[in-house]
């Protein structure tokens, strides 16, 4: 992805993140820094800043604490997710959970949530309401996913709800807050929020696809992990897709002892991947159309280019 | 404790709490409600509201969302603490962890943190900065405690830091925000914050004492629990007190097989309890003196009365 337009802002975001987590308790500092400096894509702050620029915002630094807060929320949920999923690897490094243990991973996630709050506090109520709603929806999405995983079943409607809540809501909030800070009109703010919402859904669907067909080396984490936790929402949908597309008897017999690998092989040959890819392409189309009310600018071009990058990414 | 002055406000707080956690994800609703309606003392919202009244605040309802947020923070940390401490009982009921399992307890705590944010968002930056700092300190205190428990040692300075961070900071924030909303002068706001800070320390020291000498029936949870987790900060201090007060050879031999019960018996006979009680009384004195700049009112009287109740409580 091309970060030229937002480069200075993103450098400032990284500095703001590291500064925010500075604590007199060394462990919180170390564990937060470990995950925050592990080479995340910074896609949410990037979108927040492009939205800011696309409505004519002139000083990217105005959006820095908010963009840092958005990245902090995302990172905090990764730390807590890795506890619940027993994930040992994250972005090619040991997860906080693996390195510091469950108790400290839980506290590190809590600490980062408190820091989100601290970064956002100086903005007024309008922004904090948007952020609070996004945080709420994010946790609701994670919970709905865990409930479905536990029940061992998921339907397409629930899958969509999960993706909207756990991923699209924070994408949407990022663009909405960026456009608000940049002084966008209500129409522009809504358009950019709509764009980011749809992009977020596409992003998550691609993420779920990569868990099945991605390259572990490129991803920096094992594939099949979500499958292994019975939690990958797409995967569950894929299973259902297998069942609906092919009578049970016709499902190819896969020579594979490991049940996870067997399920992955089944998904690859079932047409479920292609179905999900079509779904992601459809959401990306919607994201692109949502940009119509936004006047031409390099930032708008970059937002448009981003849709293809999200669709074609391999990590 | 006498809740006459704040009764209407606390009823509204309870309603605000239940309304806030309403979710389209039934599990989050159920688990949050389970702990929020389990008969907590509501001491923090009570203090917030008394501070509001003591500076001349006239409509208690102004302070309700803030007071609910303070109780929500406290409750969220209980949910996460119970995961880390493997506690099965809380306020005489199964903990969220015991009833819904670790994953959902983690998510329920996160959900309640998001709701804190939502309740606080409408207040301006000044309030959110206070709350964000309190949340940060709370997590720092919990972490420092876990670090000390893991190391198996704690000195008196660290004990004080832990109690200040994990308990006194939220007491202080409650009074500060209540006094701010009530329109207190800077001197009044600082006096009430100072009062609550010292009361918070006394409260936590008494809590740690009750873990050793309290009645499990009255407390609604087993005693020795903190001791069992190696986490009770006072307890560690007590151990140290034993060592400093008595040469090892003179420590009475306690006929008790269970190591927790043996440690509790040692603490009861070592003078450590009395030392902690003196410490709590000293902090309560400071709290009382901090009230000097506050003009006479029923709310001020109640704040003063509260100091004795905190000292003499048995649950």
B80: chain A residues, CB-CB within 8 Å? 106-107, 110
- CB-CB neighbors (< 8 A) of B100 in chain A: none
* Interface contact flag, A121 B109, Cβ < 8 Å: no
Nearest beta carbon to residue A111 from set B122, B129, B139: B139
Per-residue pLDDT of chain A (315 residues; tens, 9 = 90+): 667 899 999 999 999 999 999 999 999 999 999 999 988 889 999 999 999 999 999 999 999 999 999 999 999 999 999 998 888 888 888 999 999 999 999 999 999 999 999 999 999 899 999 999 999 999 999 999 999 888 877 788 888 899 999 999 999 999 999 999 999 999 999 999 999 999 999 999 998 888 777 766 666 666 666 665 544 545 545 455 433 333 333 444 555 666 667 667 777 777 778 888 899 999 999 999 999 999 999 999 999 999 999 988 876
Q: Is A85 on the interface with B (CB under 8 A)?
A: no
The reply to whether residue A118 touches residue B136, judged by beta carbons under 8 angstroms, is yes
Per-residue pLDDT band at B174 (split at 50, 70, 90): very high
Interface test with A, best of B70, B109, B136 (most A CBs within 10 A): B136
Chain A residues inside the 8 Å CB shell of B107: 80, 84, 139, 142-143, 146
Mean pLDDT of chain B: 87
Contact list in B for residue A23 (CB cut-off 8 A) is 136, 140
**Reported pTM:** 0.89
Of A194, A189, A214, give the one whose Cα is nearest residue A312: A214
The superfamily (CATH) of domain B7-312 is Farnesyl Diphosphate Synthase (1.10.600.10)
pLDDT at B213: 76
Distance from CA of A87 to the nearest CA of B (A): 13
CA-CA-CA-CA torsion sign (B294, B298, B304, B306): negative
Closest Cα in chain A, distance from residue B42 (Å): 22
Do A129 and B115 make contact, defined as CB atoms within 8 angstroms?
no
Q: What is the pLDDT of residue A313?
A: 81
How close, in Å, is residue B210 to chain A by CA atoms? 24
Give all strands (DSSP E) within chain B, no chain letters: 89-90, 93-94
B157 touches chain A (CB under 8 A): no
pLDDT score of B256 = 61
3 state SS of A210: helix
Report the residue of A78, A105, A114, A125 to disrupt the B interface, i.e. the one with the largest count of B CBs within 10 Å.
A114
Cα–Cα–Cα angle for B83, A139, B126, nearest 5°? Answer: 95
Mapped to the 3 state alphabet, what secondary structure does B219-285 carry? HCCCCCHHHHCCCCHHHHHHHHHHHHHCCHHHCCCCCCCCHHHHHHHHHHHHCHHHHHHHHHHHHHH
Q: Which range has highest mean pLDDT (A25-34, B86-95, B306-315)?
A: A25-34
Q: Residue A90: in which H helix or E strand, if any?
A: strand A89-90
pLDDT 10s digits, B116-156: 999 999 998 999 999 999 999 999 999 999 998 888 777 88
Q: Average pLDDT for residues B17-39, to the nearest whole number?
A: 94
pLDDT higher than threshold 80 for residue B236 = no
When pLDDT is cut at 50, 70 and 90, the band that residue B265 belongs to is confident
Q: How far is it, in rounded angstroms, from Cα A84 to Cα B102?
A: 8
Q: Name the more confident of A12 and B88.
A: A12
What region, left, alpha or beta, does residue A222 occupy, with left being phi > 0 and alpha being psi -120 to 50 degrees?
beta
Q: Where along chain B do its domains lie?
A: 7-312
- B97 class by beta-carbon count within 10 Å (0-12 exposed, 13-18 middle, 19+ buried): buried
Residue A192 has a pLDDT of 98
The pLDDT score that the predictor gives to residue B156 is 81
Interface check for A142 against chain B (CB to CB < 8 A): the answer is yes
Q: Return the higher-pLDDT residue of B84 and A230.
A: B84
Q: Is the pLDDT of residue B260 over 70?
A: no
**Under a CB-based contact definition with an 8 Å cutoff, are residues B303 and B50 in contact?**
yes
Helix (H, G, I), strand (E, B) or coil at A311: helix
Q: Does A113 touch chain B (CB under 8 A)?
A: yes
The closest of A53, A104, A50, A47 to A70, measured between CA atoms, is A47
| ipTM score of complex | 0.88
Asked if the model's pLDDT at residue B176 lies above 80, the reply is yes
How close B282 gets to chain A, by Cα (Å)?
Answer: 27
A114: which chain B residues are within 8 Å (Cβ-Cβ)?
132, 135-136, 138-139
């Amino acid at each position: 992805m091309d970060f030229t337009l937002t480069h200075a802002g993103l450098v400032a975001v990284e500095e703001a993140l590291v500064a925010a987590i500075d604590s007199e308790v060394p462990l919180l500092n170390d564990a937060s820094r470990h995950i925050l400096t592990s080479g995340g894509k910074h896609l949410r702050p990037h979108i927040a800043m492009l939205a800011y620029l696309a409505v004519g915002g002139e000083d990217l630094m105005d959006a820095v604490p908010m963009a840092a807060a958005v990245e902090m929320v995302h990172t905090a949920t990764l730390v807590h997710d890795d506890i619940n999923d027993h994930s040992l690897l994250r972005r090619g490094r040991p997860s906080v959970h693996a390195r510091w243990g469950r108790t400290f991973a839980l506290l590190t996630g809590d600490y980062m949530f408190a820091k989100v709050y601290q970064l956002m506090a100086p903005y007024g109520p309008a922004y904090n309401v948007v952020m609070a709603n996004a945080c709420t929806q994010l946790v609701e999405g994670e919970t709905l996913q865990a409930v479905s995983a536990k029940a061992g079943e998921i339907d397409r409607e629930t899958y969509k709800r999960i993706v909207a809540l756990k991923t699209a809501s924070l994408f949407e909030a990022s663009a909405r807050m960026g456009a608000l800070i940049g002084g966008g009109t209500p129409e522009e703010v809504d358009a950019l929020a709509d764009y980011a919402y749809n992009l977020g859904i596409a992003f998550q669907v691609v993420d779920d696809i990569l868990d099945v067909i991605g390259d572990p080396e490129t991803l920096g984490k094992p594939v099949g992990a979500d499958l292994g936790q019975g939690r990958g929402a797409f995967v569950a949908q894929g299973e259902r897709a297998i069942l609906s597309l092919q009578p049970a008897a016709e499902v190819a017999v896969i020579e594979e002892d490991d049940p996870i690998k067997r399920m992955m092989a089944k998904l690859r040959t079932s047409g479920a991947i292609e179905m999900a890819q079509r779904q992601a392409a459809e959401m990306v189309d919607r994201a692109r159309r949502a940009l119509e009310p936004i006047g031409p600018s390099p930032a708008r071009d970059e937002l448009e280019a981003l849709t293809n990058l999200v669709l074609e990414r391999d990590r």
